[in-house]
Every structure is written in C-alpha cells, then in structure tokens.
Structure 1
Amino acid sequence: MNLLADQHLNEPLLDHREGQLFLTEAFKVILEEVLCKGTDVNEKVCEWREPEELATLLDLELREYGEQQHQLLQRVRDVAKYSVKTNHPRFFNQLFAGVDYHALTGRFLTEALNTSQYTYEVAPVFVLMEDEVLSKLRSLVGWAQGDGIFCPGGTMSNMYAMNLARYRAFPEVKLKGQWALPRLAVFTSQESHYSVMKAAAFQGIGTENVFKVNVDDRGCMITDDLSEKIELAKSQGAVPFLVHATSGTTVQGAFDPLEPIADICDRQGLWMHVDAAWGGSVLFSKEHRHLMRGVERWESGACSGIQLLECNFDLLKRCHSADATYLFQQDKFYDMSLDTGDKSIQCGRKVDCLKLWLMWKAVGSQGLEERVDRAFAHTRYLVEKMMKREGFQLIGKVSHCFIKCILTYSSLIFISPFVNVCFWFIPPSLRGKENSPDYQDRLSKVAPVIKERMIKQGTMMVGYQPLGGRVNFFRMIVISPQLSYQDMTFFLDEIERLGNNL
C-alpha cells in the first residue's frame, strides 16, 4: 500500500500532454467565438439572458469531482457565447473597446509566464521593459527623470497619489498614523472619478474632507472656485495638501485647466495630481495634446490606457517600503535598485507593461498618434450628423463657432473636447413639449428603455446616466480603432429605430 502511494507521489500530478491539448482546443474556441464572431459587425454584441436562466445555462455549480475535457470545452464556449463582446465595433458602453492583437498577445504571454513584477530575480525582462515604457511616457509628459509604476486601474493610481501627497506633507504618517496629523483637505471637481472619495475613506482622511470644486458647462474645474474652496477649508481648521485634477472626466470627457491649477498649487504648496486615466492618450497626438497643456507641472498622474503613476524619484519607495528581507535581500548579486516591488503597495504585481510595449513596438508612436486622431475624427463626424437630425439634443451649450467648425471639419470644440458625446434622444411624442410639467420625468425614462431594447436585441451597447440636474442622457464613447463612419451612422439610425415609438 505504501509502495503504491510512494509511486503515485513520484509522478507529476499534471498531464502536460492532456493539458496542452485542452489549451489548443480552447484557444480555437477563443479565436472563433471571441476574436472572429466577437468582432463581426453582423454578430450580436451580447446574447442576453436573465440571471436565473443564465445561471442554469452555465451550470455554475462546483462539484466534488472534476469534469471531462469535452465538458470543460463546452464551458469555454458558453462563457464566450454569453459574455458581452467588448471587441465588437458597436460596443460603446465603456471607456474601453476594441481589440489590439499585439496587446492581446502580450497578455497571453504574461499569463502563460505567470510571474510577478517585484524583483529582477523573477521578472528580469519585465523589470527592464517597464522601466523603458515609463521613461518613454515621461518624455511625452516633458519629464527628463522621475519614477513610476503600472497600476491595475485608475482607482489605484488615485489612491497612490493621495498616499504620496500625504506622505510628502507629513512623512511621520508612515510611523505614527493618521491620528498624529491635523485634519487634511483634498480638492477635486464635481465630475471627477468616484475613486477620489474611495481613497479618502480608505486612507482615513474622510469623505467629508474632500471638497468638491464647481465646474463650468463643459464639466471643467472652475479655478476661482478652487481658490475659494481652499480658503474655506483653511477657515474650518483643515490643512489642504492635494488638488486632484482630471484630464478626461468619465461622463463628459472634460479637461480641467492644468496651467492655472498648477499656479494655485505652487502658491499654496499643494500636490497636484492629474487623473488622465481616460484622457491621457491625447499626449500621443500633436494636434490634441494642447488639451493637457501644463501637464509637465504635475507631481503625479495616471496616464490613459495603462494606469501609470509618475512621481518624484524615490518617493514611491520611501512612502511604501517595508523592507521585507525574505524578498529584498541586501546582498544580492545584481543591482538591487532593479527590485521594484518595495515601492508598490502590493506584493505580487501582475505584469502590465508587455501589453503596451508590444503594441507600441508594432505600430510605433506614429501609429498611436493616428489612433487618437482617428477617434477625434469619428467624433466630429458623429456630432455633425447628430446635429442635422431631429430628436438629438447635445448636452451643454453648443456655440455657433462650433457649428461652423464641424461643418468645415476643423478642430472639435464643443461641450466636451474629447471623444465622449453626451446627448438626449427626444422621441416624437416629446418634441415641442419642453414646457410640459412632466417633460423631464418622461424624458428620464427614454434612455433606460432604449438601452434595454438594444441589449436584449444585441445590436449595440451604449451607456446612460443622470448628471447633476440633468435627467438620464446617453454617453457615447468613440474609442475603438475598429470604428468606421458606417458605424457612426448605424448608431444614430439604431437610436431612432429603438426610440421613435416611445
């Protein structure tokens, strides 16, 4: 009996041949269902099912014994079939869309290699690669030197920034904690990302100490109100330490005026963080980078697409290091500055740099610029066509200057200068009834019904939301590199088709 047990333990638990066969077959399913059908404009964006029905179809129960390979392949097919196809040309729902095959290859490779980016010892390629990508991005911003780290999202970037700003102002917080500090104050616009509030709660600063700065019609921070809010915080006994600016707000795509904000921060001695997790891609474009004029004056920032944090050299490590001797030994045989894990709040950190590096290698800086400019061109086209159609009402004020601009295909300057197009669709039953007492209530119900219809029919996906005193409106995101003018026209036709009888 013991001999049989020892023989069993002397053999590998995994059958590599069987596993590699399954992976090969599963990859065929992924190619067909996700990358072929999922990018085909004639296929559905989603195969909608109600939650109870979907749970049954997926057979989610985890049982005592494992399933056969053919059953597992069916699970892979089901997951692909019933998931939303974010690669589809008519997925406009989020601040991400489309597929880049080089970036996807990078993700496949990093998952297969399954390493963590905390030491040169276990991730030599990726430590050097991340450093190169960060250096290149710093040059786009206008920094000759600095530090940075890839984060798993814009929320984490904002949390890093708040922690770094607090540490710079009060380095004793790392040892003594928040109780040893005065009441602190953070300043951000009314339309900034909700992660600012989360960061304040998570780090013990308190959401009541986040002062919301008023915005103009375009959603941009009003700097006069920022100055007033700073003085208000001081009068209440709080100590200002961080101004959180946004380049590309989530809903309207607004860009806060960085130059005057930086002037205020310089006068007040405050840390300026720029959340460009959405709008930072304009830095690749010579035509549109003016939207972030003054960005080189930030202390930290998150850059679009990769959720990158930049800050002054060595501050990340001093703020976050815990000197774990089992991982960051001081007598290694290579340059220990290459062990980057101690400047992260995580221990195990996924490799994110390969995805961007491989895409950048494939298309070059010129190709990335072309993608940004193309998104703006499609946005101009969509707005021009929208303004010529009855029933579409853009959010905010549209100037006569803008109307002239779009008709001549020159620079796009309107409610948002970015690729977010926010609008109401006014169905025929509501047109001309703006003064009716129930108009706003009835209008608020239009977008949710159209959204339900498009999802259940699988024709496209686009988000909606209320904002401030505005009832539900659509937020169309023009970002996928797969888009064409035909997709813009289809979008308008489909909104009309789905909403004309409301």
Structure 2
Amino acid sequence: MADSKPLFSLDGDPVAAEALLRDVFGIVVDEVIRKGTSASEKVCEWKEPKELKQLLDLELRSQGESQEKILERCRAVIRYSVKTCEPWVLVGRVSGVCTQLHSELPAPFSRSPSLLQPALLRYTYEIAPVFVLMEEECHYSIKKGAAFLGLGTDSVRVVKADERGKMIPEDLERQISLAEAEGAVPFLVCATSGTTVLGAFDPLEAIADVCQRHGLWMHVDAAWGGSVLLSQTHRNLLDGIQRADSVAWNPHKLLTAGLQCSALLLQDTSNLLKHCHGSQASYLFQQDKFYDVALDTGDKVVQCGRRVDCLKLWLMWKAQGGQGLERRVDQAFALARYLVEEIKKREGFVLVMEPEFVNVCFWFVPPSLRGKQESPDYSERLAKVAPILKERMVKEGSMMIGYQPHGTRGNFFRMVVANPALTRADMDFLLNELERLGQDL
C-alpha cells in the first residue's frame, strides 16, 4: 500500500528527510507560534482521556506509518497540548499520553511485586551499613547515585568480572556472604546489559538466582543494550531480564531517539515511585479535579517541570514500527560484524576481543611497532598511539572515535556502530583514515 512506507528507511533518503523536517517546522510555526500566541485561540482544546487516546491512536504496531500520517500525528499532539508555553518551546503536554504510552510499551515483566519496599530500606539503614553490589564494568553512575542518596561510595561493593567483562555470579555470592558476615545488609545488585566499553551482557539468569536466594533487589542497567530486546535474532543476550525488579533503558542510545529519552521499568505494581517521591503539593496535584487524577504522574518523578520524553519514542515507533526498529538493531549488529571482519584482514589492526554487541574495540599498530610485540616497551609505546591519532583526526575534522585503557590493556579504540545512517563505506573510511593518519608513527 502507498500508505505503508515508513518515515525513514535504513537506506536513508536525505531529500525526503529534509522535506519532512520542513513540513514539521511549518506545523510548529502554525500551531505553536501563530495559534499558540493568539488571544483568539483556545488555551486548551479539552478532550476526555479516553477520547484523546482514540484521537492520537497510541497503539504501537509492527508496521511503520507513512510520512503523511506522521505529520498528522505531529499536528494532533500540538493541537491538544496546553497553549500557555513560550512561543518557541514545543511542550507537547497532552493529558494521559505519558500514562497511556507506558501501558503500550512491551515491558518484559510479569511476576509479582518485589519484596523490597521503602520501609525495608529505612529499617536496614538505621541498624546496619547498607551495601549496593555492582560489577567492575558497571557504569560510574551507580557509585554517583550512592553518593547522591547519602549511602556513600564506600557502601558500593565491586563484584569481579570475567575476561569478557561479565559479572561472575560466584563472586557475587561471595561478596554477599562477606558483607553479611561483617554485619552489613546488602539490598541491591546492579547488573548490566551492554557495558560501556566492551559491550558485555551479564548472565542475568544466574544473577537473578543469587538475588532470589538472598532476597535482594535486582536492577539491570540496560541503558545501552536494552533495545536489543526488539530484535528476535539477538534478544537472547538479555535472557533473564524478565526476573529483574527494575530496568533502566535509554532509547536515545541504540535506537537513536532524540536526547534525552530514558525509561525506568518496574516490576512493582504498588506505585512505588509515588510512595518514594510524592510530596502531594496541593497547588499542583489537587485531588478534586474534574478528570481522573491518576493521569497526573508528575508527583512520582524526582524533578517537576520536564519535557515529555516519551513523545519522541512514541512518534519514532509509530513511524518505524516495531519491525523498523528491529531492522535498525539488526543492521547495527551486521555492520559491526563487517567492521570486525575487515579489521582481521588488515595489517596493523588487532581486535581487543571478539565483540558480542556493537562495541568494536581494537588497536591500531603503527608500522614502527609491527612485529615488535616482544619488546619490553611495546605496550607502553602502543598505548600512546590512540591519543596521538585522536588528536590528529579531531584537528583534521575527519572523524571522532573514543579510546580508553581497560584494566591491564593500554589505550585502544572503541568504535560503537549505532548510527542507522552508517554504511560499509563508512567502516572502510574509518580504517583507511586511521592508516593514513598513523602511517608515519
């Protein structure tokens, strides 16, 4: 059907994309600036939440929608938004959209609420030190969060990871036993699905078994790797995530939704976030409104004023469809595999390890170091190569690739293949450019 063409294809169509953006800007100028600042226009075009859900058609489908349909949705979201914002800001605050969209997302959870409740946390904090357990490859935000919560970074115990960067469940069990023997009370384990550097996926089933035995809250940081669940081919990397108590997911990463777009998914069905964060401010969250106050979800979040981040995800999902997003994930895996195979063919390129995700980590060995692995200063000299090449590529303006050391490994490049506009030609350019920039080293 002519109406079934998705918003963007993986092949890319810059002309169509430019035309679409111009149309969207036209809608913003018309609906937000012209009508939104006109005293003759309504401040709010009220619709009952059930009616609004039907008008917007919140359901997420496997097939994407046409550009014409997406433009209609942009206009509808703006039309039914509150019009009291600054004329240059698109708020998109539609009553019920956030709540209704959450119910449409394919959450992987099914079991009953967790045992951990706020009262338990308060109790353990009063009688004994409380410990968070994370693996060596875990994101730095876990320690940062412990500091913000007042637990202190010393309350975070680090669990060993194997050579591929995955948490070792046996060491998790050992750390729990050590903490309990010291009179501490472990309460949360943070596993990772898609570590920042190596792209490792922790063994969630085994970790869930440990958490279940000890009655611990299991959180999965799937900010980077959670989108892999959309792929029928690769979703086995997250086997066991359905047993987690909470999951963090960032669609603005692998799915490339606009920054920022993050989700926290919970097993708990007792409105735990509201119990933890709610302050019942009577000047904002009146309980005697003429519509269902359950739609006022603002009291359960940490901040008050915020953008409606889910709008970006919903609109992208409507445009691409579940199948389009799955293709985006699978294409990233395929392109990463192409890059790996090309690295193996070229002299001077050495993989750090075979990747299981789209993080491709490798060294570029310049001509002066090739064949000299046995030299006593080889590792030290190799570690200096990536910083030099990074400076050169930035000053040339040709590309930007991250590098870092890792454990005993010296600096290496980390190419994250996530942009859906990337092609094999881009991967070839990457390798060719490193060869050009490093030929005199």
TM-score between both structures, scaled by the size of structure 2: 0.75
In 2, Cα distance between equivalents of 1:232 and 1:433: 44
- The structural deviation recorded for 1:193 is 0.4
In 1, Cα distance between equivalents of 2:344 and 2:101: 41
Change (3 A) 1:340 1:394: same
Pairing 1:490–2:436 present: no
Pairing 1:128–2:96 present: yes
Does the CA-based 8 Å contact 1:140-1:283 persist in structure 2? no
Instruction: Give the SS at the match of 2:229.
Output: helix
Q: 1:310 pairs with 252, 255, 265, which one?
A: 265
Does the CA-based 8 Å contact 1:258-1:292 persist in structure 2? yes
Change (3 A) 1:240 1:358: same
Tell me the C-alpha RMSD between the 2 structures.
2.9
Does the CA-based 8 Å contact 1:166-1:241 persist in structure 2? no
Superposition map of 1:403-418 within 5 A? 414=354, 416-418=355-357
- The structural deviation recorded for 1:323 is 1.1
Pairing 1:334–2:280 present: no
Q: 1:453 pairs with 392, 414, 429, which one?
A: 392
- The structural deviation recorded for 1:435 is 1.9
Does the CA-based 8 Å contact 2:262-2:309 persist in structure 1? no
Instruction: Give the SS at the match of 1:435.
Output: coil
Pairing 1:319–2:276 present: yes
For 1:193, the equivalent position in structure 2 comes to 139
In 2, Cα distance between equivalents of 1:356 and 1:377: 24
- Amino acid of the residue matched to residue 302 of structure 1? A
For 2:168, the equivalent position in structure 1 comes to 222
Superposition map of 1:354-393 within 5 A? 354-393=311-350
Change (3 A) 1:209 1:114: farther
- Amino acid of the residue matched to residue 308 of structure 1? A
In 1, Cα distance between equivalents of 2:432 and 2:100: 45
For 2:383, the equivalent position in structure 1 comes to 444
- The structural deviation recorded for 1:172 is 5.7
Q: 2:235 pairs with 283, 289, 292, which one?
A: 289
Does the CA-based 8 Å contact 2:190-2:220 persist in structure 1? yes
Of structures 1 and 2, the one scoring higher in RCO (CA 8 A, sep 6+) is 1
- Amino acid of the residue matched to residue 134 of structure 1? H
The CA deviation string for residues 77-101 of structure 1, in whole angstroms up to 9 with x for no partner, is: xxxxxxxxxxxxxxxxxxxxxxxx9
- The structural deviation recorded for 1:200 is 0.8
In 2, Cα distance between equivalents of 1:166 and 1:436: 57
- Amino acid of the residue matched to residue 120 of structure 2? A
Instruction: Give the SS at the match of 1:464.
Output: strand
- Amino acid of the residue matched to residue 395 of structure 2? K
Does the CA-based 8 Å contact 2:393-2:399 persist in structure 1? yes
Q: 1:235 pairs with 159, 181, 188, which one?
A: 181
- The structural deviation recorded for 1:276 is 0.5
- The structural deviation recorded for 1:304 is 3.1
For 1:141, the equivalent position in structure 2 comes to 108
In 1, Cα distance between equivalents of 2:83 and 2:428: 45
- The structural deviation recorded for 1:229 is 0.9
User: Percent identity at matched positions?
Assistant: 55
- The structural deviation recorded for 1:320 is 1.1
Pairing 1:301–2:255 present: no
In 2, Cα distance between equivalents of 1:126 and 1:256: 38
- The structural deviation recorded for 1:372 is 0.3
- The structural deviation recorded for 1:166 is 7.2
- The structural deviation recorded for 1:434 is 1.5
Does the CA-based 8 Å contact 1:320-1:344 persist in structure 2? yes
Does the CA-based 8 Å contact 1:126-1:353 persist in structure 2? no
Change (3 A) 1:474 1:286: same
Change (3 A) 1:228 1:127: farther
Segments of structure 1 that go 5 or more residues without pairing to the other structure are 1-31, 37-100, 117-122, 147-160, 397-413
Q: 1:257 pairs with 195, 198, 203, which one?
A: 203
Change (3 A) 1:133 1:496: farther
Q: 1:169 pairs with 107, 114, 120, which one?
A: 120
Instruction: Give the SS at the match of 2:96.
Output: helix
- Amino acid of the residue matched to residue 295 of structure 1? I
- The structural deviation recorded for 1:393 is 1.1
Q: 1:463 pairs with 402, 417, 431, which one?
A: 402
Instruction: Give the SS at the match of 2:421.
Output: coil
- The structural deviation recorded for 1:296 is 0.7
- The structural deviation recorded for 1:325 is 0.9
Instruction: Give the SS at the match of 1:461.
Output: coil
- Amino acid of the residue matched to residue 291 of structure 2? Y
The CA deviation string for residues 313-355 of structure 1, in whole angstroms up to 9 with x for no partner, is: 2111111111111111121111111110111111112210111
- The structural deviation recorded for 1:168 is 5.7
In 1, Cα distance between equivalents of 2:375 and 2:120: 54
TM-score between both structures, scaled by the size of structure 1: 0.66
More helix by share: 1
- Amino acid of the residue matched to residue 243 of structure 2? R
Pairing 1:428–2:372 present: no
Change (3 A) 1:286 1:212: same
Q: How many residues align?
A: 356
- Amino acid of the residue matched to residue 439 of structure 2? N
- Amino acid of the residue matched to residue 464 of structure 1? Y
For 1:395, the equivalent position in structure 2 comes to 352
- Amino acid of the residue matched to residue 200 of structure 1? A
Instruction: Give the SS at the match of 1:252.
Output: coil
Q: 2:191 pairs with 237, 242, 245, which one?
A: 245
